[in-house]
Amino acid sequence: MAVYVRTIIKYLCPRCREDVAKRPGVINTPAIACHVCGHEFLVNRAAVLHSWQKTLFRYAFLFLFVVGIAFFFTVPSDLSATMWNELKQGVGTFAGYVVGVLLGIALLAGIGAFPFGLVVGWIAGNSVANRICSD
Ligand SMILES: [Zn+2]
């Protein structure tokens, strides 16, 4: 018999039970303050690694997304030429092209940023965790 176990990793504030993984930025001190209630508490190694991976993924995603948009609109292609023709004729299907292109670029940026966040985020987070965590 197969048993399906769903695991959700959360880092909760001991006082208000807020998920501190939502807090922006990396953890590089042994103790952090909850972004909701201000309670200070010690973090473990997993929380440090998670914060570095998440943050580096976000920066890599934003970078690749902006580069992807710049590339799309500066390098001539059939699709970008069609979009500009649509724009000249009126909004019509232009919004559809924009949404499709942005979603496509976001998907590619997410795929590209994932290994960066996973690997580089782990390496950076591991070195910080070795320095600040005693567990
Ligand atoms: Zn709290």
CA of 62 to the centre of ligand 1 (A): 29
CA of 32 to the centre of ligand 1 (A): 10
What DSSP designation does 25 have?
A: S
Strands 31-33 and 40-42: antiparallel
Amino acid at 111: I
Name residue 40's beta-bridge partners. 33
Name residue 33's beta-bridge partners. 40
What pLDDT is attached to residue 37?
Answer: 92
CA of 111 to the centre of ligand 1 (A): 33
CA of 21 to the centre of ligand 1 (A): 12
Residues 34 and 14: their CA atoms lie apart, in Å, by 9
Domain locations in the chain as residue ranges? 20-132
How does pLDDT run along the chain (135 residues), one tens digit per residue? 666 666 566 788 889 988 887 778 888 888 888 888 999 988 888 888 989 999 999 999 999 999 999 988 887 777 777 777 776 676 667 777 778 788 888 999 999 999 999 999 999 999 999 998 876
What pLDDT is attached to residue 56?
Answer: 94
What pLDDT is attached to residue 7?
Answer: 59
pTM: 0.76
CA of 3 to the centre of ligand 1 (A): 34
Q: What is the C-alpha radius of gyration for the chain, rounded to an integer number of angstroms?
A: 21
What pLDDT is attached to residue 64?
Answer: 96
What pLDDT is attached to residue 108?
Answer: 92
CA of 10 to the centre of ligand 1 (A): 13
CA of 49 to the centre of ligand 1 (A): 20
CA of 38 to the centre of ligand 1 (A): 6
